[in-house]
Amino acid sequence: MSDATDSEQNTMRWSVFRTVDNDLFEAVRGSGARRVVLQVPAGLVRNAHELAARIRDASGVPVDLAARPCFGACDLPTDTEAPRADLAVVLGHAPIPNVPLTRTTFFVEMRDAGGDPEQLAKVVAAGGLPHRLGLVASVQHLDLVDPLSAALGKLGYAVRVGRGDNRLAYPAQALGCNYTGAESVAKDVEAFLFLGTGRFHPIGLAFAADRPVYALDPLRGELEPPIDRGALVRKRQLIVASVRDARRWGILVSTFAGQNRSPTALALQQRANARGRDAEILLFDRLDGHDLVGRAFDAYVSTACPRIALDDSDNYPKPVLTPPEFLMALGELPLEPYRFDTYH
């Protein structure tokens, strides 16, 4: 088994695996589990049946597939979705240490050590990035952080790697709702370099920290230009301004263990009422835009995943704000500086 860990806050045990291999199969076999539920992110759905068969054949333990893909370690299969499983195997995510678990869970992080650090450092230098750099990575590419830091150091870079709060399992780790690791070193760096693919994390990091965010795909060796933070923030500020006079608010609360901020929702409801607004709490597990159609609300505030409001707002019939944006709309927070909705 690789790197097995007991969480401090969870009464249920969790363990971490680098990838789907014999270490995982042996651990499943030795766990004493009677039935496994396997959950994969959307990008691995095509391979899910084959992965389930490999785990089943190699461990001898029956495996059910969770039909609902996971967005993160925040929305693991619920007891209702997998009532018979006493072990969950979750692919593609690191544990979130402060999210309570209802069954033993094996997190398979799908680490990829690919990418030549010396070559990648040259790409960074050729891209003219500032020399005081903060390094951030998706969990798949965390193994590259130390060797790339060393390679950049040889080229004269001062690299900083931050450690975040208890929602992040590792230094340098990025989570779409929490960039506290990066924020902890923001004052010491001129820019951030994100190791990974896609724009999800660069955009989130740009919202969270007022620094240019470059993205480097470690496998392709391609460097992306920085995100235009100003444009992102201005778009959100315009949405906030458009709902300043909204009277009827829906407060969205997810029942997923790692997305449930009920105390925040109740506090927002009180703030809304104190400002003469109506505010009703709406419960859901995964938010579907269709469920908001035809409701008598002028706007919503989401206390679930912050990326619902920031990335998916076009999917909803009325504006959806994050909690800090909601307080801006009520006039309780200024529009500047813009505050990212960090989920702690």
Binding site for ligand SF4 (CB under 6 A): 71-72, 74, 175-177, 258-259, 305, 307, 343
Cα gap 86→37, rounded to integer Å = 8
Closer CB to ligand SF4, 17 or 71, in the complex: 71
3-state secondary structure 281-331: EEEECCCCHHHHCCCCCCEEEECCCHHHHHHHHHHCCCCEECHHHHHHHCC
Closer CB to ligand SF4, 134 or 258, in the complex: 258
Least distance (Å) from ligand SF4 to the CB of residue 34? 29
Least distance (Å) from ligand SF4 to the CB of residue 74? 3
C-beta separation of 57 from 107 below 8 A: no
C-beta separation of 152 from 121 below 8 A: yes
Closer CB to ligand SF4, 99 or 327, in the complex: 99
Closer CB to ligand SF4, 86 or 311, in the complex: 311
Closer CB to ligand SF4, 207 or 214, in the complex: 207
Least distance (Å) from ligand SF4 to the CB of residue 104? 20
Least distance (Å) from ligand SF4 to the CB of residue 343? 5
Residues contacting 214, CB < 8 A, separation 6+? 124, 127, 129, 191, 192, 193, 194, 202, 223, 224, 225, 226
Least distance (Å) from ligand SF4 to the CB of residue 291? 18
Cα gap 207→67, rounded to integer Å = 32
Least distance (Å) from ligand SF4 to the CB of residue 272? 23
Closer CB to ligand SF4, 28 or 287, in the complex: 287
Closer CB to ligand SF4, 72 or 319, in the complex: 72
Least distance (Å) from ligand SF4 to the CB of residue 304? 7
Least distance (Å) from ligand SF4 to the CB of residue 167? 8
Closer CB to ligand SF4, 117 or 204, in the complex: 204
Closer CB to ligand SF4, 105 or 259, in the complex: 259
Least distance (Å) from ligand SF4 to the CB of residue 139? 11
